[in-house]
Amino acid sequence: MNKKKFSLAILALSTLVLTACGGNDSDGAAAAKENIIVGTSPGPYSELFLDDIVPILEDKGYTVEAVEFSDLRSADVALQEGAVDVNVDQHTAYMDNFNTEADASLVAITPIPTVPTGMYSEKRASIEEVQDGDQVGIPDDASNAARALLLLEKAGWITLDESVEAMQTTTSDIVENPHQLEIVEMSSAQIPRSLDDLDYGIIPGSMLYAAGMSSNDSLLNEDILPHLILHAVVDEQNAETEWANAIVEAYRSDEFLERMEEVNTDNYWFIPEELTN
């Protein structure tokens, strides 16, 4: 082989080696992702993540960037499109509805502390004071409307059609309404501001927090069903990544659970059993 051909062969081999090494570096960087982007929404769950989960992740070598959204649906769209990595503001009933409507593949990776939906009033001191024709405000999104109706049934105010799956329940499934309640559907965020006009309002925990209200004022709390427990949610393709597992471990760490004991003296938070086992 003459010198010219030998030099070309070496050059080609060097290029091949560098390309291969560059590819390995890229794959390694993807596998060793250290920056986590969380999509935050108004409410206690994002705040809990930023205040108490982020420091644990940072101790593990991760950096966390927060991108704020005004509503959960926008946060889910960003998660679906890969603009963010995780959010922590929804239960699986909401997630399943979004997946169906948006043809998405979001998955829950761990349950997280949850604030129950409750019944509140500025006009009545108890559920026994309900009067015929009272106005009751409930959320207008499907999953939270269903849980509000279940709470009204728990209060003994209405009877729902037993043949309808609990989380598919709508106002049209009320078969008995002896107090002839006027059930008003509205944005969850609007209910706390409307309590002066309503006789009772059913308020999800996140909206309660945003309104600066106390769960101690609840007249009746829901029995939290498994699919109403809040979760950390990612796209399906990221469910088994190291960084997703790090989030799961952070929520189940002794450090986090000790912190919850400190701040949960009024039982504001429901702590899922999976976090304590």
| Position 137 in a domain | yes
Residue 20 lies inside a defined structural domain of this protein: no
pLDDT at 22: 45
Look over the chain and give the mean of its residue pLDDT values, rounded to a whole number. Answer: 88
Same domain, 231 and 195: no
AA letter at 141:
D
In a domain, 4, yes or no: no
**222 — pLDDT class (breaks 50, 70, 90):** very high
Q: How far apart are the C-alpha atoms of 53 and 162, rounded to whole Å?
A: 40
Same structural domain, 152 and 168: yes
Residues 187 and 64 in one domain: no
Q: Does residue 1 form part of some domain? A: no
Q: CA-to-CA distance for 209 and 28, rounded, in angstroms?
A: 41
DSSP state of 51: I
Of 159, 158, 163, 141, which Cα lies nearest the Cα of 73? 141
Cα separation, 146 vs 144, whole angstroms: 5
Question: Quick one: pLDDT at residue 19?
Answer: 41
Range of the domain at 84: 33-114+227-276
* pLDDT tens digits, 57-101: 999 999 999 999 988 899 999 999 999 999 999 999 889 989 999
Does 86 share its domain with 43?
yes
CATH of the domain at 232: 3.40.190.10
| Residue 31: predicted pLDDT | 53
Asked if the model's pLDDT at residue 221 lies above 70, the reply is yes
Q: Does 26 fall in a domain?
A: no
Sign of the alpha-carbon torsion through 197, 199, 202, 206 = positive
Looking at the structure of the chain, the number of domains it has is 2
- 17 located within any domain: no
**Minimum mean pLDDT range among 28-42, 65-79, 164-178, 214-228:** 28-42
Cβ 113 vs Cβ 230: under 8 Å: yes
Same domain, 148 and 169: yes
Looking at residue 214, its pLDDT comes to: 82
For the stretch 99-154, pLDDT in tens is: 999 999 999 999 999 988 999 999 999 999 999 999 999 999 888 899 999 999 99
Task: Kindly report, residue by residue over 89-108, the tens digit of the pLDDT.
Answer: 999 988 998 999 999 999 99
Is the residue at 11 inside a domain?
A: no
Looking at the DSSP bridge assignments, the partners of residue 106 are 235
CA–CA dist 62, 17 (Å, integer)? 31
Say which range, 1-15, 35-49, 189-203, has the weakest mean pLDDT.
1-15
